[in-house]
Structure formats: C-alpha cells, structure tokens
Copies of this chain bind each other. A is one copy, B any other.
Amino acid sequence: MKIAVDAMGGDFAPLEIVKGVELARDQFTDIEFELFGDEKQITAILQNSDRVNIHHTDVTIDMGEEPVKAIRRKKDSSLVLAATAVKNGEADAFFSAGNTGAVLAAGIFVIGRIKGIDRPGLATVLPNLSGKGDHEYFVMMDMGANAESKPAHLYQYGFLGDFYAEKMLGYTKPTVGLLNLGTEEDKGDAVHKEAWQLLNGSDTLNFIGNVEARELLNGAADVVVTDGSNGNTALKAIEGTALTMLKMIKAAIMENGVTAKIGGALLKPALKGLQGKLDYSKAGGAVILGVNAPVVKTHGSAKAEAVSNTFAQIHQMITSNLVPDIQAYVAAHKDDLSAKQLDAEQDN
C-alpha cells in the first residue's frame, strides 16, 4: 500500500514527520511512502530511503490560511499534491499534520465525498476512562468539520462512526449515543430532536439515546454522534480541563513545599500512568469520514511517535477495508440515508 504524506504540514515539519515515517516504515513492511515537500530538507533528515519516495515542492499551506482559498490557489503545495496523488490512484491514503480546514477541504474537494454521504465529518477516537469493560476508546463525530448540521447529517454520522468502531476498534454492535443537553428523548433543538427520531428508527444501529457531555470519558457510548459545534466544544473543553488540572497538580506540589515535593516524586509513576491514559494520540489522528479514501489529520504538535501511530491507524484502515465497505454499504442503502429523502419524509 502507498500513503501520500504532506511532509511540510505541522509545527515540527518536516523533522518529526520524516522521523515518524521512518518509524512506521520499519514497523510495517508493506507500506510505501510518497512524501511531498522540500526535497533538500527531507533528504537531510531521512536516514534510509527504503520505500520512501520524495516529490519535491517548495509551496506550503500555512496554519492560518483560509482553507478553501488555499487549496484552490496552491495546487502545487505539499498538502494538495499529496491529496491529488490519492485522487489519481497513485496512493491509497492521505496523511497530514497541517491546517485542519485545508486537509478537510482537500479531502472533500480533491479526493471527493462518498456518493450518498452529504457532509463528510471529522471523527476522533477518545479514551473511555470508566475502568469498566474492555472498550478502551470511543469514536466521536463530527468534531468541527461542519458548523451547521441537518438531522440527516447527524444520522449519517451515526453510520460512519458505527463502521469505524466495528472495523477499527473491533467492537461488535457498538452502542451509539447522541450528544445532547439531557438524556430525555425530547431534549435539545429541532435538529437534535429529529436526529434522535432518525437514529432511534434505525434497524442497523444500536442506538441508546441521548448522552451528556459529563459522561463522555466515563464510557457513555462507543460512538457519540454530535454536530460539529458541540463536538468541537466538548473536545476542547476536555483537553483544556485535563491540561489545566495536570498543570495545577504540578503547581500545587511546588506551592506546598518539601513534603508535597516528596509526595510528588513518589507519585510520579502514577501521574505518568494518568497522562498515558489521557493521551489519545495512541489511537492515531482525526479521520475525515465520508470521503473516498483514508484521510487522516494528526495533531499539529505531533512528534515522531504520534506521527507513526497515525500511520499504524491508516495501515489498519486500509487492511480492514474500511472505506470500500462504507462505500458499498452507502450504495446499498442510498435511499435510507439520503438527506433529501429524509427531509421529504419529515415534511410529510
């Protein structure tokens, strides 16, 4: 299999991207890497060119650029060239740690939507920290690809998330929940009330109803369906709170003088374990589900190990046949999933 890599996207690109490529190359003997970016810089880092092909470009898309404009104007950027290679069948998947909006736009406009999916969305795998059962992770989508959603889009996220949980996390009949203001059926705005009805009416999904943000990390559901706005808020609130608390524990240790410092030193392995459980980069990057190939955006601050974990995730996406299976399912259930059809039914 071939993975097209935007070698210039990310806070530590190309250094950590190239190092991550080499880690993954040594781990997976069946991956060939097509790297797009500055040849000189890449060559200077690369220790071994086995199964690594470099395609030179000195054009890059920056983190702050307006995504859609950037991908239209910079067709010879490392990001767009990598996506184009996938479109042209020269690679099987697209990796970037760059501008999230631009990766999303390249996924949708260059690689293309799956026919029958109206709005591809951003899926993230987060840790289930309940300590109960053997489901270490859950999938949540959309995390912010779309600022506005219709009920049918949320319904489609349910199916996409369900496929991801089954294929990638190995869950049988994963539970699917809808993020909402409260657990009762009639909670939320009109979009969420209608989405509840659609999800609940599905014979395929194991829908368990509304879930609240308080229970996300506590194993509320294997698949959490949300509009991009609330998904983004939940993810960032979780990240912000976790970071703040770790910082405060460290500060509290310092403030409380010698005794607490000894306590802190003795507690170090425990805190490290905690940090490890919170580190969801082990499960890879954020996936654009609903497009015609694996497209994965890893964190801009990702170091080599997180980059390599993302390649492991892409490797599994390809070997598990995730995208072709979604395509086949959506084609076979076109009418049941179509936003147009569902809207028409709701109007009757």
Q: Which A positions have Cβ atoms within 8 angstroms of B?
A: 129, 131, 144, 147-148, 179, 181, 187-190, 192, 212-218, 228-230, 232-245, 248-249, 251-253, 255-256, 259-260, 262-271, 273-274, 277-278
B245 touches A242 (CB 8 A): yes
Q: How far is the CB of A250 from chain B (nearest CB, A)?
A: 9
Q: How far is the CB of A181 from chain B (nearest CB, A)?
A: 5
A213 touches B229 (CB 8 A): no
Q: From the candidates B230, B244, B255, B266, name the one contacting A233 in the complex (CB within 8 A).
A: B230
A-B contact pairs, 27 of them (CB 8 A): A129-B244, A147-B181, A147-B187, A147-B188, A181-B232, A188-B229, A189-B229, A214-B237, A217-B240, A218-B244, A230-B233, A233-B233, A242-B245, A245-B278, A252-B267, A252-B271, A253-B267, A253-B270, A255-B270, A256-B269, A263-B265, A263-B266, A263-B267, A263-B268, A263-B270, A264-B267, A267-B267
A189 CA to B145 CA, complexed, in Å: 11
Q: Which residues of B contact A264 (CB under 8 A)?
A: 263, 267, 270
A236 CA to B216 CA, complexed, in Å: 9
The 4 closest A-B pairs by CB, nearest first: A263-B266, A263-B267, A252-B270, A213-B236
Q: Which residues of B contact A243 (CB under 8 A)?
A: 214
Q: Which residues of B contact A244 (CB under 8 A)?
A: 129, 217-218
Q: How far is the CB of A212 from chain B (nearest CB, A)?
A: 5
A340 CA to B187 CA, complexed, in Å: 26
Q: Which residues of B contact A148 (CB under 8 A)?
A: 189-190
Copies of this chain, tallied across the complex: 2
Q: How far is the CB of A248 from chain B (nearest CB, A)?
A: 5
B240 touches A213 (CB 8 A): yes
Chain B: CB-nearest residue to A276: B252
B131 touches A251 (CB 8 A): yes
A262 CA to B264 CA, complexed, in Å: 10
A240 CA to B126 CA, complexed, in Å: 14
A179 CA to B232 CA, complexed, in Å: 11
A229 CA to B228 CA, complexed, in Å: 12
A277 CA to B251 CA, complexed, in Å: 12
Q: From the candidates B192, B230, B241, B273, name the one contacting A242 in the complex (CB within 8 A).
A: B241
Q: Which residues of B contact A251 (CB under 8 A)?
A: 131
A189 touches B253 (CB 8 A): no
A259 touches B252 (CB 8 A): no
A126 CA to B181 CA, complexed, in Å: 19
B240 touches A216 (CB 8 A): yes
A213 touches B242 (CB 8 A): no
B269 touches A248 (CB 8 A): no
Chain B: CB-nearest residue to A193: B147
- Given A147-B181, A181-B144, A215-B240, residue A260 in contact with residue B256 (CB < 8 A): no
A256 touches B237 (CB 8 A): no
